Amino acid sequence: MWKGLVSAAVAALAVTGVEAASYDDIPDIEVYGQHFFYTNNGSQFYLKGVAYQQNYSPNGSTSTNTTYTDPLADGDACRRDIPYLKQIFTNIIRVYAIDPTKNHDDCMAQLASADIYVISDMGEPGTSIESNNPEWDVTLYQRYTGVIDALSKYKNVIGFFAGNENVSADNQTAAAAFVKAAVRDSKTYIANQNYRKTLGVGYATADVPSRDELAHYFACEPGNSGNKTSIDFWGYNVYSWCGDSNYATSSYGERVDFFSKYPVPVFFAEYGCIEGLDSAGGPTHRPFTEVEVLFGNMTSVFSGGIVYEWFMGANNYGLVSLTNNDASVSPYPDFTSLQSQLSKVSPTPTQRSTYTPTNSPPACPSVGGTWLAQASPLPPNVNPQLCACMVDSLQCVYSSTDDAAYQDDFSYICAADAKYCNGIARNATTGQFGAYSGCDPRDQLAFVANQYYLV
């Protein structure tokens, strides 16, 4: 059984042609209409992926607030894991946070040699668009562009997520405007830096009541802006197929119907439900019976998916554990189930040469009810030079770098007279944004304090 499955995994590599020798040799993956395609032969690319980062919870947030391990900066760990990743037919991994200051050549070259691609989130713990108090500012912009700079040279990077589950409740839908602004500025940055045109920017949503509005909002393009604010692909974090569920009970059928007219590729950015704990207190076994459906009659609409997750952690979703002081990999039964299910699927790829996209961008949802985000205007383009120029013009500035300490001063000045804070205002529901709404809090506070005390 095991030997046969490993042989099948090796044989599967032949589908894409000769294995890449490095990240310079691997063919790009491009978005064309509703599908991903290999640029070297025009064959459709289906994601058979795994979330690959330690200490992350099922909704993509870290288990701590300040630290994380960059999974692409540890060449030895990649050497340890890649042979096992290939045993479950992996052709893509999702990473949630990388350190742009570290070197990723070793791991990225190993992944490319194994024909494994990467999608990376752009935020990190403590530097991401918040759900309840969203901003899109200089610090976030520099974080996002830093990730783009660090990974853009690797041809096995398909693209980036500008956000992950930023909207999980009805009163958080305004945050979508700030993520859409991040999509816009990230795409603009990629173009201005003359990075690969095949690099995409997308969003990963939770399976929440506002999911349909979110899908329309991120794919819509208001006015004649030339697809600069719309996503290039849509990730769907879904855990509705539990155990031996089915196409109807899991709502997979409803999702296929909804996305059948979607203009960009859709895939599961996380999947793999755990029903609870077994009698021994461990996670229930996942049979991964959804794989047959995901890579079967759903392939005309969905482009595969990314299983949550590789490393075992406190949430019990891991496919493997690390043993021998993290030098060895020990697969769990879920690993074997996933391997078995993926060995049975062989989706028929669409050829780019015979495919003509017909789906158009959806209309943008209107503000009303629980939907609180205007599609236009969005938060302004982040402009670090504008913020620096504003600060240079002030008579006094703040020396403290503690954002939390600024709130009392903001509240005092803005309550005294709102006019002093018009320049930093941000309201995604009315579409009103001050000229300096994209500056960092310290610079914003210096601006309003100068208005209040010195003008």
Q: Which domains are assigned to the chain?
A: 2-354 (3.20.20.80), 384-454 (1.20.58.1040)
The model carries a pTM of 0.92
Structure tokens at 235: 């990730």
Do 434 and 414 meet the contact criterion of CB atoms below 8 Å apart? no
> Could you list the active site residues?
165, 270
**pLDDT of res. 262:** 98
Centre a 10 Å sphere on the Cβ of residue 372 and count the other Cβ atoms it contains. Answer: 21
HSE-CB at 149 with a 13 A cutoff on CA atoms is 10
Half-sphere exposure of 366 (CA within 13 A, CB side): 1
Burial class (CB in 10 A: 0-12, 13-18, 19+), 386: middle
Question: How far, CA to CA in Å, does 436 sit from each of 286, 381, 389?
Answer: 49, 10, 11
* Residue-wise DSSP of 95-155: ES---TTS--HHHHHHHHHTT-EEEEE--BTTBS--SSS----HHHHHHHHHHHHHHTT-T
Q: What pLDDT is stored for residue 64 in this prediction? A: 46
* CA–CA gap between residue 205 and residue 214 (Å, rounded): 8
Residue 25, Cα to own-chain centre: how many angstroms?
A: 25
For residue 222, count other CB atoms closer than 10 A to its CB: 15
Inter-residue contact 422 to 436 (CB < 8 Å): no
Cα(56)–Cα(36) distance, integer angstroms: 27
* Residue 396: burial class (beta carbons within 10 Å; 0-12, 13-18, 19+): exposed
Q: What is the pLDDT along the chain (455 residues), one digit of tens a residue?
A: 333 333 344 334 434 444 555 788 899 999 999 999 999 999 999 999 999 998 755 444 444 445 799 999 999 999 999 999 999 999 999 999 999 999 999 999 999 999 999 999 999 998 999 999 999 999 999 999 999 999 999 999 999 999 999 999 999 999 999 999 999 999 999 999 999 999 999 999 999 999 999 999 999 998 765 669 999 999 999 999 999 999 999 999 999 999 999 999 999 999 999 987 676 666 678 999 999 999 999 999 999 999 999 999 888 999 999 999 999 999 999 999 999 999 999 999 999 999 999 999 999 999 999 999 999 999 999 999 999 999 999 999 888 777 777 888 888 999 999 999 999 999 999 999 999 999 999 999 999 999 899 87
Question: Residue 4, exposed/middle/buried by CB under 10 A (0-12, 13-18, 19+)?
Answer: exposed
Are residues 150 and 182 in contact, defined by beta-carbon separation less than 8 angstroms? no
| pLDDT computed for residue 231 by the predictor | 98
φ, ψ (nearest 5 deg) of residue 301? -120, -45
- Which pLDDT value is given to residue 321? 96
pLDDT for 408: 84
| 275 residue type, one letter | E
The SS3 call for residue 394 is coil
